[in-house]
Amino acid sequence: MFKILTRPKAASLACLAMVLLAGCGPSTGDEPLTGGVPPEMRRLTEDQYRHVVSDIFGDDIVLGGRFDPTIRSNGLISVGASTVTISPSAFERYDYLARSIAAQVVDKNHRGEMIACKPVDPKAPDDTCAKQFLGRIGRLLYRRPLSQDEIDGSAAIAKSTTAATGDFYAGLGASLGAMMETPAFLYVSDRVEPDPDHKGAFRLDAYSKAARLSFFLWNSSPDDALLTAAQKGELNSRSGLAKQVDRMIASPRIDAGTRAFFADMLMLDDIDTLQKDTSIYPAFGLRVAADAREETLRTITDLLLVKHADYRDLFTTRETYLSSYLGLIYKVPVQNPEGWVQYQYPPDESPERVGIQSQISFVALHAHPGSSSATIRGRAVREILLCQKVPDPPGNVDFTLFSDGHNPVYKTARQRLAAHATVPSCAGCHKLVDPIGLAMEDFDGAGSLRSEENGAPIDTSGELDGVKYKDAAGLGTALHDNPNIPACLVNRLYAYASGHNPAKSEAAWLAYTGKQFADSGYKFTELLHNIAMSNALYAVSSNKPPSPQRSAGATAGDKEKPL
């Protein structure tokens, strides 16, 4: 059952993606048109900020400090990022982060790698070296070439600070820190330009396309190759765009991008603040919570990127990855206590352990600190996996009967919920969520298996959209076969990629893309490819004027059909 491992090999991911994507790519001749949405600005999420810093400056740069809380829209932090602002206190934290990062970049341990030039005198200003470094690094930070005014302004900060401190690198650090506090870095902005093929219309400029593509597939800033393609205008042609999309999906960095999306969709960031009553669940701790998140992400990336399996198999798979800490909750002895092992639950011994919805990251996250919750779990399935909004409970509902887990009359959650559902204002919503969550009642509030509650046997039968089942395995099959499962993924993935809630004008496109997804055998990498190559991902409203912020550099495209 066990196989000791670390992570799927990058080479395996790259080679598989190259083979699978060779020659693929949808024809857009029958792609439904969308009206596009107005250009937007989206603040970098904490995860994106960390990835950008690591990718540009190296993964040994330490990021201290805290980030402002984030909000969700359409179930995604990445979409909510378009509505958040930076408060004065948050700006102070960004200032601290920027100064700390810049100081590390120019210190003696890093300057040799990051700064290609050397000043004539390390105690005096050197505009030539400063501008060379700031222009190169600014292009990566701002996701476009800097204008001459921007380079001159940054060099001026470096010069004045060097003059005051007698340290060229302190001056360079001050300028770098200032760059990382600007909206150009902290916000991903959609810049538009006149569309040469449609009079009076506008399109995203090539650098905005590059940023959208990179944050979608890699959860980070564009690399040099993608920025160069944007500068040459290659992203305005189908062949040029396809070359970059294929390269990026074949890159090992697709693993990080896939992890970022599913962590957002499954709300795995909430695990960071997950708390359990240790008097009830003594084995549950911070390390278990962190490993639970990693277990789910490993399961997802292995199934979708390495095995290239049907996306729906995530809800019926018995294969997973375990650490010794998770083994305590799952009650499975892990043979490699210092690392991860690949494990497959035997159907006869653990019939309930089916799909990512049976993993700790789901059943423990969607539960109370000291007990399970069929209602919370059922609602999570509806809202997270099926994209169906469940109304909040009325504010005047009495939860006393339902929440009393030691009631001598109603010993099980099913009995308590049946009594609670007699309240007319509650019955409708509970019919939507309880039959789903009750199938997970074999998992306690920490995710361990159990067969009874308060001495009474647990009944895990239920129903999902007319499909009846007897247990958690049956629920997994019902989810696998439910048409809303792949439709929800298409909706969430497109919202994640575009940074906005899908509009009504995009409904036909979503249906079209959903059919492509089905025709591919529900292969996740092909869905990534189809969205990245679509016209819809880059469409902007034609009634909006172009941004006054113009990118520096050439933008000439080739003569092929533009996007």
- Whole-number pLDDT of residue 336: 84
In the predicted structure, residue 49 carries a pLDDT above the cut 60: yes
Is the pLDDT higher at 333 or at 544? 333
Can you give the pLDDT at residue 432? 86
pLDDT of 14 over the 60 cut: no
Which of 133, 105, 104 lies closest to 118, judged by CA?
133
Mean pLDDT, residues 158-181 taken together: 98
Question: How confident is the model at residue 563, as a pLDDT?
Answer: 36
Residue range 101-129: mean pLDDT, rounded: 96
Report how far apart, in Å, the C-alpha atoms of 391 and of each of 55, 270, 388, 425 are.
Answer: 41, 21, 10, 11
Judged on CB neighbours under 10 Å (0-12, 13-18, 19+), 46 is middle
Confidence of residue 397 (pLDDT cuts 50, 70, 90): low
What's the DSSP call for residue 391?
Answer: P
The band of 29, judged by pLDDT with boundaries at 50, 70 and 90, is: low
Q: Is 70 exceeded by the pLDDT of residue 543?
A: no
- Give the tokens for residue 266: 């499954």
pLDDT averaged over every residue in the chain: 88
Q: How many CB atoms neighbour CB 226 within 10 A?
A: 25
Measuring CA to CA, how many Å separate 397 from each of 403, 406, 420, 422?
12, 20, 10, 12
According to the model, what pLDDT value does residue 250 have?
98
- Does the pLDDT at position 316 exceed 70? yes
472 and 358 Cβ atoms separated by less than 8 Å: yes
**Secondary-structure breakdown of the chain: helix, strand, coil percentages, each rounded to the nearest 5:** 50, 10, 40
**Contact between 248 and 6 (Cβ < 8 Å):** no
Condensed to tens digits (0 to 9), the pLDDT of residues 175-210 reads 999 999 999 999 999 999 998 988 888 999 999 999
Residue 497 clears pLDDT 90, i.e. is over it: yes
Q: Residue 448 has what pLDDT?
A: 96
The residue type found at 281 is Y
The mean pLDDT of 123-150, rounded to a whole number, is: 97
Taking each helix axis from N to C end, the angle separating 238-250 and 206-217, rounded to the nearest 10 degrees, works out to 30
pLDDT above 90: residue 416 = no
pLDDT exceeds 90 at position 368: yes
The reported pLDDT for the residue numbered 402 is 55
* Mean pLDDT value across residues 126-146: 97
* Residue 518, φ and ψ in degrees, nearest 5: -65, -45
Distance in angstroms (rounded) separating the CA atoms of residues 340 and 322 = 6
Give, for 225, the enclosing helix (H) or strand (E).
helix 224-231
Question: From residue 145, how far is each of 81, 185, 191, 448 by CA, in Å?
Answer: 24, 12, 13, 53
Comparison of pLDDT for 423 and 548, the residue scoring more: 423
Say what the pLDDT of residue 430 is: 73
Q: What is the mean pLDDT of residues 493-521?
A: 96
Mean pLDDT of all residues in 285-301: 97
Pairing of strands 187-189, 462-464: unpaired
The DSSP H or E segment spanning 379 is: helix 374-380
Tokens representing 551 are 């990118």
Q: 101-110, 161-170, 539-548: which has the minimum mean pLDDT?
A: 539-548
- Classify residue 509 by burial, with Cβ atoms within 10 Å: 0-12, 13-18, 19+: buried
Query: pLDDT category, 561, cuts 50, 70, 90?
Result: very low
Nearest one of 410, 462, 458 to 434, comparing CA atoms: 462
What are the boundaries of each domain within the chain?
A: 43-187
| Degrees, nearest 5: CA angle 556-215-267 | 160
Q: Name the residue with higher pLDDT: 444 or 85.
A: 444
Give residue 85's pLDDT band: very low, low, confident or very high (50, 70, 90): confident
Distance of alpha carbon 264 from alpha carbon 73, whole angstroms: 11
β strands within 325-482, DSSP E: 340-344, 452-453, 456-457, 462-464, 467-469
Amino acid in the structure at residue 150: E
Which range among 113-117, 217-221, 548-552 has the greatest average pLDDT? 217-221
Which pLDDT belongs to residue 410? 65
Length of the chain: 563
CA-to-CA dists, residue 361 to 39, 245, 299, 343, angstroms: 36, 31, 12, 17
> What's residue 542's pLDDT?
62
- Positive or negative, the CA dihedral 234, 239, 242, 243 is negative
Mean pLDDT of the 429-455 span = 91
pLDDT at 421 over 80: no
pLDDT band at 27 (very low <50, low <70, confident <90, very high): very low
pLDDT of residue 400: 58
User: In this predicted model, which residue has the larger pLDDT, 22 or 308?
Assistant: 308
pTM for the complete prediction?
A: 0.89
Q: What is the pLDDT of residues 209-262, one digit of tens each?
A: 999 999 999 999 999 999 999 999 999 999 999 999 999 999 999 999 999 999
